[in-house]
Structure formats: structure tokens, C-alpha cells
Structure 1
Amino acid sequence: MGKVAIYKCGDYEYNRVLDTVAKVLDDIPSIKLLRPGRVLVKINLLKLNKPEDGVTTHPFVVEGVVRYLQGLGHHVLIGDSPGGPFNPVILKAIYDASGIASVAARTGCELNFSTDSIDVKPQNSKLVHSLKLVKAFTEVDYVISCAKLKTHTMMTYTGAVKNLFGMIPGVTKADYHLKLNDIAHFADMLLDVCDYVRPDFSIIDGIHAMEGDGPSSGDIRELGLLLAGESPYELDHSAAKIAGLSNVPTIIQAEARGLFDQKDIEYTNITPEELTVLPFRLPGSTHVNFVKGRIPKYVENFLLDSIRPYPMVKKDLCVGCGICARNCPPKVISMVDHKAVIDTEHCIRCFCCHELCPEKAIGIKRHPLHRLVFGK
């Protein structure tokens, strides 16, 4: 049985967070069986955000994990490959803004600035037979997924598994979006990455989570929880269950592939059933693609081509920075008169533009029939 620990933590008061992180990790006995070594704490940075934005893993949660591991004799490396260009200058800016640079200063841990990549060949993959990963992330003894609990415009939910997509360097992630423009396939790719990385344990920052149009433009939800588990699949299942999120592609595919069985989960403190949480508000793009098995295939194809939501530029908010255009996988965004223009006919609905826009100037346009068909 895999162990999942869920503890309440009402806010980001420094000592309370560190104490709760220690309690959560104490409930995962396999952590103490890891011989001292070099550990990557793979956090979720995404882009240039402050901790209070609720987009990135909060620095106090990260610090709690770092100090816990250091107490067990490990050398800790913090790292992520955020969206967009991947270089030391951008990494420094994001580490500074997110509060992670301060974590390194207080704890003496290491921050990753290396952007070299390496090609690896997963042995048990279902979909991808070669992966390009950040080389420094493969040169450690252990990997910890230190994620943020959020809704996600493309994948409905992001947590421990989706967090590991940041093992892939910079704009290389756009190649996977372009080649795997099918939600089930994209989910299987994420599971292939997770299965190759095999995080030794995972922790999710759900103190302030995100609902609505996450992972960067949603609304903060004060959930007040920290979660940890030996299996990232079991942990994601538990977090999504608490948030009332169903039809999550990575969880559906993981269970179908036999990567976990929800009946095997052993809760060490609070169970999801003991928590009363109003269901998280879903992204406006929910059910864009992943409707497999709900309707006949020919109807599905018509719906996906005809009425699925698409990104829309809010001209009054667009400042013409061009981040969306530079990071669009199919390159269907152009800048006209210092405003972004999206060729929706050729848009693949990955919503990378929505995810990376620093001004929240990319909205989600829904066809009038969407609510009638999907009930959302």
C-alpha cells in the first residue's frame, strides 16, 4: 500500500508551514530509508510570479522540504525549467521573484542554473521512446516533485505528475505540445516522463491552491492543505478527489495503465472523505479534447473541430510583449500594431499563450453550444 499524508495548514506563516511540512513528511517512512545523497527538489515555477500570486510552489513549503532533507544528510538542488526560454538570466529573475533565491540564501542549498540537456530512452514508455531532459536533473541520486495544486486549462488539473513536465528544457516543451495534440496522448507522455523520473516522493502545496483558469490566470482558493505521498499517481488522485475534479486525463490514464490502484492508498492522517470542500471551479476550456468514451467518435470529432473553446486576446490588456507569439507551439500568433493576433483556424488549443501571458491578456472563448453539450 502507498501512503498519502494530508495535513491542515491554514496559511503561509513561516514556522507553521515548516512544522507542517515536517509532519507530512514524517508520515512517509520510506523517506528516511534514502541514504544521504544529492537530491533534486523539482518545484513548479512556470514563469515570473511572486509567491502571493498562487502560481508557483510557495517558498516556505520549498524551504520546509529542503530543511527536512538536509536534516537527513542530503545535499539539495532546487530546480525547474519554466515555460519559455531557458537560460541563467531568466532563471535568476524567476528565482528572485518567486522567493526561491531567498530559500537558498537561508538554507545554503544549491539552485540550478545549468541549461544543458541530455537525450534519454525510457524503457517502459507507452508513447515516447526518447526524451530530452535537463542534464543536471538526471545527475542526482533522488528526485522530489514539489508541486502546486491548481486547475489547468489543458489538463484540467496539475499536481505531482504534471510538475515533472518541467524536467524538459525550455521551449522543447512546445515540441511535445505540437506533436501530441491529443489530450490522451499528452497525458500518456506526462506519465512516460513521470515513470522515467520515478520521484522518490512527492509533496503538493495546497495551502493556497488555484481554481478556474489555472495554472496561471485562475483564482486563488484558500484550501489550507499540505499533501505528500510515496506515489505521485496516488497523491494526484487524492488531491483531485479533495478538489472535486474528475475526468483528469493523467489520473484516468495512470489508472488504466496500472500505475496505481486507488484501493491501495493508505491515508496516515486525514482522508479526503473527512474534508468538506466545495468543488473547484473548472477552467473555461474543460473537456476541450478529453471526451473519450462519453460520445460516439464521429460526434466527438465534429464537436472538437466545431465548438471547442479557443484562446482569445483581450486587446485592452495586451501590452505587445510578444511572449505568447514566441512560445506558441504551432506559431499561429502574430503581433499586429503591438497587439497579439491568434489564427484560431490553425490553433491547437494547447493554451500555452494563456498560461504564459504575464498580463492575463489571453482569455478563453467558448462556443454557445459548449455549455449545452458538456454541461459546463
Structure 2
Amino acid sequence: MVSPIFVYMMLNPHVRHSPWLMPYYHSMKVVLLKCETYRKPILKATIERGLNLLGYTDIIRRGDRVLLKPNLLAAKPPSAAVTTHPMVVESVAEWVIDHGGKVLIGDSPGGAVKDMENLWTITGMRAVANKVGAELLNLNRYPIKIVDDLHISKICDDVDMIVNLPKLKTHSLTGMTMAVKNLFGLVPGLYKSHLHRVYPDPISFTKMLLRLYRLIPSNISVLDGILGMEGNGPSAGEPKAFGILGMADDALAMDFAIAKLARVSGRAFPEIKVAPTPSYELMSEVTTLSIRMPQTRVVNLILPTVLRYIYSLLFSYRPVITNRCRTCGVCADSCPVNAISGPPYTIDYRKCILCTCCYEVCPYGAIKIKRSVFRI
């Protein structure tokens, strides 16, 4: 007997790539292509080639509302490699439009962003929206739905498709931030800070991200790894030209493929330790990837278990507010446990849970992660 789910997907191609229904239809696919420039003709052709290799010729129906979900962590210019490059967003938007879809661009940035128009402008999203006729959505102000203890933007139910547009970066808490972590931007507003408080360590936070991934029907992931970030990401690391453009029909498969390429272990990147290894077909022009991990994760990478435990008793990493602080207050507004007060701003380390949210969202790079002798 033919499964009714299979029949439904045959009649509705746009739902075939939902992570809920993926096992009924096909094995997952990841495409990694070389691309060393944001020049529009080359970039757009590379994206179209990759999506064709995934078999995406009929996934969009005319009139479908398609949400493009870039990484818009902070109001940083494209050259800083903190956010998804606007030319990637523009090229994917034009691909959607060429296939008959209507484009929306939305995110809920990290921290307490008070001026979204400024963020749209500096990241280049305003210019992209004006050029392609897309609607910009501040997901901090969008209605939510509650699933268990997770608040998720209702935009997931109000569009026909979500295209996930992550940036290839390191991350001080989770080791790396790619396709799965980028879905965290569909958790609106400062509720993200609440989740950091409830899930303060890398393992529990990663498990929460994986629950979120299973709840959000991201149909396509296009990874901007042309210019990414290494070191102390996701906002204060060093830009690095990786020359990679990735496309996948599953966010977790994308992350596993990149981690394997970079030879990153589960100790440095908990996602590949916690999640079951997905089965996927890899089509790659890229054979090597070198990325320097955050200093907060390096000890997990280089030391065996016993030595890591001894090290953890003697040393700890903590955020420190430097003299670059401009007293904007974003760190205090974003702290999930109210450990930051001021101005002048100081951190109460008795309250600090080392989630590094302050470090992540500081618009001036005034917060550094420093090693201290003996645990706080």
C-alpha cells in the first residue's frame, strides 16, 4: 500500500524537503562549491548550479511566500564577516523570484537591538530589499507560537518556505555557528537570553538548538563561507576567506559536512557529538578547510579528558569589559542573568554564567574573553 504521506508529497513538491518528512522521500544532500568572490555574475551562477545539483527545479510554486533567514547578528558591514553577505541574499532572492516566489527577509538579531533600520542599512539588507522588492521583517515584533518551553516566531507558519542563509563562523559557546545555529534567529527578542540562562553550557544549549531545528521546516540552507570568521567568533573573531559556498536540503547535514571537512571534533563543536550522524550524499569541489577555533574551546580540542578536568579546576574563561566601552548598554540589556550593571558597566562574576552573550552582541568589540587563574 502506498503511504498517504508519499502521495501528498508527490502532489505538493514544496513540502518534500521538510525535515519532518525527509525520511519518507530521499536521502539528504550537501553541495560544497568553490567560490572566492561576491561578484554577482559568478556568485549567482554558483548558487544556481548548487541548487540544481540538489534537484531544486520545482520546489517553489508561483506565488509562494519565501522567507530568507540570513545571519544578522549585529549592525556590522559585510567586510566584518559577522553577517551573511548581502550579495548572497540578493542572489538567492533573485533565484526565488525567477521561480515565481515572493521574497521576505527577516531575522531576530542577537541582544537588545534598538534600531533595526540602522541594522538593515549597515548590513546591506535595506539595499537588497529595495532592489528586489522584498519585504523586511523584524522578527522581534512578529507574533510567536509556544512549543514546550520554546518561543518560535509564527513566521514559520505564515510562509510557504524558509531558506536558511547562515554564515560560516566560529562561536565562543557552541564552537561553530552554521545552519542549525542560524535557526536560533527565529526565536524572537530577548527570549533568546532566557534560553541562555536555562541552557548555560555548550552541551545543554546545543541540545536545545537541535530541538529547535526539528521544529522549524527549513527547506534549503545556503551557507556563506566565501568570507567567514575564525578565532573568537561570532562577532569578535578575524575574517577569513574560506572560498566556500554550501547548499543543502538539511541544516544538520550541512553542519556535519563542514565539520568533517575542517576535521573539527565533537569536543570543539558539540553539535556533532550530541546529534546522531545524518546520512547524506556529499557533492564537493572543496577538499580542505582550515579554521582556527575560539580560545574558549581550544582546551577541549587539544587535551585528553583527565587533563581537561584538571585544567577546568585551575583556569576559567570570562568576559571582561575593556576601555573600548561606549556605555551603549546593549550588553546589560542582553545579559540573561542581569550580571552587568552600570554605567560605568561592570560584570558581577558571582552571577555570570559564562554564556558569552555580552561578548557576542557588543557593537564595539569592547568585551573580550580572557583567561583567569583559578575558577571564579
C-alpha contact (below 8 Å) 2:172/2:296 kept by paired residues: yes
Report which stretch shifted further, 208-217 or 129-138: 129-138
C-alpha contact (below 8 Å) 1:183/1:289 kept by paired residues: no
- 1:303-322 per-residue CA deviation (whole Å, 9 max, x = no partner) reads 6565221111222x112222
Letter aligned with residue 32 of structure 1: D
2:280 paired residue among 240, 262, 265: 265
Look up the SS of the partner of 2:185 in the other structure.
helix
Shift of 1:32: 2.7
Shift of 1:181: 1.4
Tell me which residue corresponds to 1:126.
none
Tell me which residue corresponds to 1:253.
274
C-alpha contact (below 8 Å) 2:318/2:371 kept by paired residues: yes
Structure 1 residue ranges, 4+ long, deviating more than 4 angstroms after superposition: 287-291, 302-306
Letter aligned with residue 49 of structure 2: K
Look up the SS of the partner of 1:132 in the other structure.
strand
In structure 2, how many angstroms separate the alpha carbons of the residues matched to 1:67 and 1:155? 32
Tell me which residue corresponds to 2:96.
69
Shift of 1:109: 1.7
In structure 2, how many angstroms separate the alpha carbons of the residues matched to 1:232 and 1:64? 20
Letter aligned with residue 283 of structure 2: T
In structure 1, how many angstroms separate the alpha carbons of the residues matched to 2:250 and 2:177? 15
Tell me which residue corresponds to 2:69.
42
Identity %: 35
Look up the SS of the partner of 2:272 in the other structure.
helix
Q: Which runs of 5+ in 2 are unaligned?
A: 1-26
In structure 1, how many angstroms separate the alpha carbons of the residues matched to 2:369 and 2:311? 17
Look up the SS of the partner of 2:253 in the other structure.
helix
Look up the SS of the partner of 2:218 in the other structure.
coil
C-alpha contact (below 8 Å) 2:60/2:100 kept by paired residues: no
Tell me which residue corresponds to 2:169.
150
In structure 1, how many angstroms separate the alpha carbons of the residues matched to 2:46 and 2:100? 20
Letter aligned with residue 325 of structure 1: A
In structure 1, how many angstroms separate the alpha carbons of the residues matched to 2:199 and 2:116? 27
Alpha carbons of 1:179 and 1:320: their partners in 2 closer, same or farther (altered >3 Å)?
same
Tell me which residue corresponds to 1:3.
29
Shift of 1:163: 0.1
Tell me which residue corresponds to 1:358.
363
Letter aligned with residue 121 of structure 2: D
1:116 aligns with 2:142: yes
In structure 2, how many angstroms separate the alpha carbons of the residues matched to 1:29 and 1:133? 29
Alpha carbons of 1:332 and 1:290: their partners in 2 closer, same or farther (altered >3 Å)?
farther
Tell me which residue corresponds to 2:320.
312
Tell me which residue corresponds to 2:178.
159
C-alpha contact (below 8 Å) 1:288/1:308 kept by paired residues: no
Tell me which residue corresponds to 1:374.
none
- 1:98-130 per-residue CA deviation (whole Å, 9 max, x = no partner) reads 111111111112211461332232xxxxxxx23
In structure 1, how many angstroms separate the alpha carbons of the residues matched to 2:57 and 2:335? 39
Report which stretch shifted further, 195-204 or 155-164: 195-204
1:333 aligns with 2:340: yes
Shift of 1:240: 2.2
Shift of 1:3: 1.2
Letter aligned with residue 189 of structure 2: G
In structure 2, how many angstroms separate the alpha carbons of the residues matched to 1:119 and 1:31? 32
Letter aligned with residue 81 of structure 2: G
- 1:133-186 per-residue CA deviation (whole Å, 9 max, x = no partner) reads 223343111111110000000000000000000001111100000011122111
Shift of 1:68: 0.9
Shift of 1:267: 2.1
Look up the SS of the partner of 2:295 in the other structure.
coil
In structure 1, how many angstroms separate the alpha carbons of the residues matched to 2:28 and 2:270? 21
Tell me which residue corresponds to 2:197.
178
Tell me which residue corresponds to 1:239.
258
Tell me which residue corresponds to 1:51.
78
Q: Which runs of 5+ in 1 are unaligned?
A: 122-128, 371-376
2:288 paired residue among 270, 276, 285: 276
In structure 1, how many angstroms separate the alpha carbons of the residues matched to 2:196 and 2:291? 26
In structure 1, how many angstroms separate the alpha carbons of the residues matched to 2:183 and 2:193? 15
Look up the SS of the partner of 1:200 in the other structure.
strand
2:45 paired residue among 19, 22, 25: 19
Tell me which residue corresponds to 1:125.
none
C-alpha contact (below 8 Å) 2:112/2:330 kept by paired residues: no
Letter aligned with residue 103 of structure 1: V
Look up the SS of the partner of 1:33 in the other structure.
coil
Tell me which residue corresponds to 1:98.
123
How many residues align structurally?
A: 345
Alpha carbons of 1:145 and 1:68: their partners in 2 closer, same or farther (altered >3 Å)?
same
C-alpha contact (below 8 Å) 2:262/2:288 kept by paired residues: no
